Amino acid sequence: MSEKKLSRRSFIKKGTMGVAATAIAPAILAATPAVAAKGKNMFCYQCEQTAMGKGCTYTGVCGKTPEVAALQDLLIYTLKGLSLTAVSGKKVGVNDKNVNRFTCEALFSTLTNVEFDPNRIEDLIHETVQYRTAMIKKVKAAGGTIDMKNPAVTFKPKSSISGLVKQGKKHGLMDDASKNKDIRSLQHTLLFGLKGLAAYANHASEFGQEDDAVYEYVHRALASLLDYSLGMKYLNLVLECGEKNLKAMELLDAGNTTRFGHPIPTSVPRGYKKGKAILVSGHDLIDLEAVLKQSEGKGIFVYTHGEMLACHGYPKLKKKYPHLYGHYGSAWQYQKKEFAQFPGSILMTTNCIQKPKRLYKKNIYTTGTVGWPGVKHLENKNYKEVVDKALDLPGFPEDVKKNDVMVGFARNTVLGVADKVIAGVKNKDIRHFFLIGGCDGVKKKRGYYLDFAKQVPKDCVIMTLACGKHRLIDTNFGDIGGIPRLLDVGQCNDAHSAVQIAVELSKAFKVSVNELPLSFILSWYEQKAVAILLSLLHLGIKDIRLGPSLPAFITPNVLKVLVDNYNIMPITTPEKDIKAILG
Ligand code: SF4
Residue 449: CATH number of its domain? 3.40.50.2030
For 378, phi and psi rounded to 5 degrees? -105, 140
| Ligand 1 atom at minimal distance to the Cα of residue 59 | 5
User: What integer is the mean pLDDT of 105-110?
Assistant: 98
Are residues 346 and 489 located together in one domain of the fold?
A: no
Strand partners, 461: 433
Coil vs helix vs strand at 202: helix
Given 392, 420, 450, which residue is the final one in a domain?
A: 392
**For the chain, what is the largest distance between any 2 Cα atoms, rounded to a whole number of angstroms?**
69
Domain of residue 178, residue span: 40-257
Residue 24 inside a domain? The answer is: no
Is residue 25 situated within a structural domain? no
The mean predicted confidence, pLDDT, of the chain is 91
Residue by residue, DSSP assigns 375-429 as SPEE-TT--HHHHHHHHHS--BSS-B----EEE--SHHHHHHTHHHHHHHHHTTS
Other Cβ atoms closer than 10 A to 208: 11
- CA–CA–CA angle 388, 392, 397 (5° rounding): 125
Q: Is 530 in the pocket of ligand 1 (CB under 6 A)?
A: no
- pLDDT given for residue 467 in this prediction: 86
Instruction: Determine the pLDDT at residue 31.
Output: 36
User: DSSP code of 275?
Assistant: B
pLDDT, residue 331, reads 87
For residue 522, pLDDT beyond 90: yes
Best mutation site among 109, 112, 191, 525 for ligand 1 pocket (most ligand atoms within 8 Å of CB) = 112
Task: Give the atom of ligand 1 at the shortest distance from the alpha carbon of 113.
Answer: 1
- pLDDT greater than 60 at residue 4: no
Would the pLDDT of 176 be above 50?
yes
Residue 49 Cβ inside 6 Å of ligand 1? The answer reads yes
* Residue 19 confidence (pLDDT) above 70: no
Using the CB atoms, write b or e for 534-570: b if 16+ within 10 Å.
Answer: bbbbbbebbebbbbbbbbbbbbbbbbbbbbbbbebbb
Is residue 529 pLDDT above 80, yes or no? yes
DSSP code per residue over 509-571: HTS-GGGSSEEEEEE--SHHHHHHHHHHHHTT----EEESS--TT--HHHHHHHHHHH--EE-
Q: Is 557 inside a domain boundary?
A: yes
Segment 491-514 mean pLDDT: 90
Whole-angstrom distance, CA of residue 120 vs CA of residue 368: 11
SS3 assignment for 58-112 = CCCCCCCCHHHHHHHHHHHHHHHHHHHHHHHHHHCCCCCHHHHHHHHHHHHCCCC
CATH code (residue 207)? 1.20.1270.20
Question: Is the beta carbon of 56 within 6 A of some atom in ligand 1?
Answer: yes
Same domain, 222 and 297: no
Residues with Cβ within 8 Å of residue 20, at least 6 apart in sequence: 565
Cβ of residue 44 lying under 6 Å from some atom of ligand 1: yes
The response to whether residue 66 sits with its C-beta less than 6 Å from ligand 1 reads no
217-261: per-residue pLDDT in tens? 999 999 999 998 899 899 999 999 999 999 999 999 999 999 999
Ligand 1 pocket test, candidate residues 41, 43, 48, 56, most atoms within 8 A of CB? 56
Q: Classify residue 40 as exposed, middle or buried by CB count within 10 Å of its CB (0-12, 13-18, 19+).
A: middle
Shared-domain flag, residues 368 and 430: no
Atom of ligand 1 nearest to the CA of 46: 7
SS3 content of the chain, % helix, strand, coil (to 5): 50, 15, 35
Residue 398 lies in a domain: no
What contacts 169, CB < 8 A, 6 or more positions away?
Answer: 70, 73
| pLDDT of 457 over the 80 cut | yes
The rounded Cα 352 to chain-centroid distance in angstroms is: 10
**Separation CA 117–CA 8 (nearest Å):** 36
CA distance 419 to 431: 16
> Which of helix, strand or coil describes residue 258?
helix
Task: Let me know: does 101 contact 218? Beta carbons within 8 Å.
Answer: no
Q: Is 47 in the pocket of ligand 1 (CB under 6 A)?
A: yes
Residue 378 lies in a domain: yes
CA of 305 to the centre of ligand 1 (A): 23
81 and 210 part of one domain: yes
**Are 150 and 81 a contacting pair, CB within 8 Å?**
yes
What pLDDT is attached to residue 378? 98
Q: Is 557 in contact with 27 (CB distance < 8 Å)?
A: yes
Boundary of a domain, candidates 222, 257, 292: 257
Three-class SS of residue 264? coil
Q: Which of 257, 277, 297 is the last residue of a domain?
A: 257
Instruction: Judge whether residue 1 has pLDDT over 70.
Output: no
Rg (CA), the chain: 23
Q: Which amino acid is at 468?
A: G
Mark whether 91 and 234 lie in a shared domain.
Answer: yes
Identify the pLDDT of residue 45.
98
Residue 32 domain-assigned (yes or no): no
Nearest ligand 1 atom, CA 45: 7
| 225 and 307 both lie in a single domain | no
Residue whose CA is closest, atom 1 of ligand 1?
112
Confidence of residue 38 (pLDDT cuts 50, 70, 90): low
Residue 402 neighbours by CB distance under 10 Å: 13
Contact 332, 63 (CB under 8 A): no
Q: Which of 41, 50, 554 to mutate to test the pocket of ligand 1 (most atoms within 8 A of CB)?
A: 50
CA 503 to chain centre: 22
Q: Please tell me whether residue 480 adopts helix, strand or coil conformation.
A: strand
Domain identity same for 119 and 184: yes
Is 104 contained in some domain?
Answer: yes
One domain, residues 58 and 148? yes
Mutate to test the pocket of ligand 1, among 48, 62, 67, 107 (most ligand atoms within 8 A of CB): 62
pLDDT for residue 459 is more than 50: yes
CA 400 vs CA 272, 275, 328, 396, 404: distances in Å: 5, 11, 11, 9, 12
Q: Is 64 in the pocket of ligand 1 (CB under 6 A)?
A: yes
45 lines ligand 1 (CB under 6 A): yes
Residues 337 and 380 placed together within one structural domain of the fold? yes
How far CA 563 is from CA of 15, 53, 522, 554, in Å, comes to 6, 20, 16, 12
pLDDT value at 64 more than 70: yes
Quote the pLDDT of residue 163. 98
**What distance in Å separates the CA atoms of residue 214 and residue 91, rounded to the nearest whole number?**
16
Atom in ligand 1 nearest the alpha carbon of residue 56 = 8
pLDDT tens digit sequence for 482-493: 899 999 999 888
At 486, give phi and psi (nearest 5°): -115, 115
Say if residue 387's pLDDT is above 70: yes
* CB contact set of 488 (below 8 Å; sequence gap of 6+): 310, 405, 406, 407, 408, 409, 463, 464, 465, 469, 473
Long-range contact set of residues 256-259: C-beta below 8 Å, sequence gap at least 24: 256/207, 256/285, 256/314, 256/493, 256/494, 257/412, 258/207, 259/207, 259/285, 259/286, 259/289, 259/316
What average pLDDT does this structure show over 504-526? 93
Q: Is the CB of 46 under 6 A from ligand 1?
A: yes
3-class DSSP assignment, residue 288: helix
Of ligand 1's atoms, which has the minimum distance to the CA of residue 112? 1
Is pLDDT above 70 for 10?
no
Do 246 and 296 lie in one domain? The reply is no
User: Which residues share a beta bridge with 520?
Assistant: 435
Q: How many domains does the chain have?
A: 3
Using the predicted structure, report yes or no on whether residue 272 has a pLDDT greater than 80.
yes
Which residue puts its alpha carbon closest to atom 5 of ligand 1?
60
Confidence of residue 40 (pLDDT cuts 50, 70, 90): confident
- Domain membership of residue 304 (yes or no) is yes
In the predicted model, what is the mean pLDDT of residues 389-412?
95
Q: Would the pLDDT of 129 be above 90?
A: yes
Q: Which residue has the higher pLDDT, 495 or 286?
A: 286
How far is CA 123 from its chain centroid?
24
Q: Are residues 156 and 235 in the same domain?
A: yes
Where helices occur in 233-279 by DSSP H, the ranges are 233-260
Pocket residue to mutate for ligand 1, from 44, 45, 114, 524, most atoms within 8 A of Cβ: 44
From CA 413, how far away is CA 127, in angstroms rounded?
A: 43
Confidence of residue 351 (pLDDT cuts 50, 70, 90): confident
Evaluate whether 502 touches 496 at the Cβ level (below 8 Å): no
Q: Which residues contact 536 (CB under 8 A, 6 or more apart)?
A: 242, 499, 520, 544
Q: Which of 326, 329, 281, 269 is nearest to 302 (CA)?
A: 326
Q: Quick one: 66 and 94 in the same domain?
A: yes
| Separation of first and last alpha carbons in the chain | 33
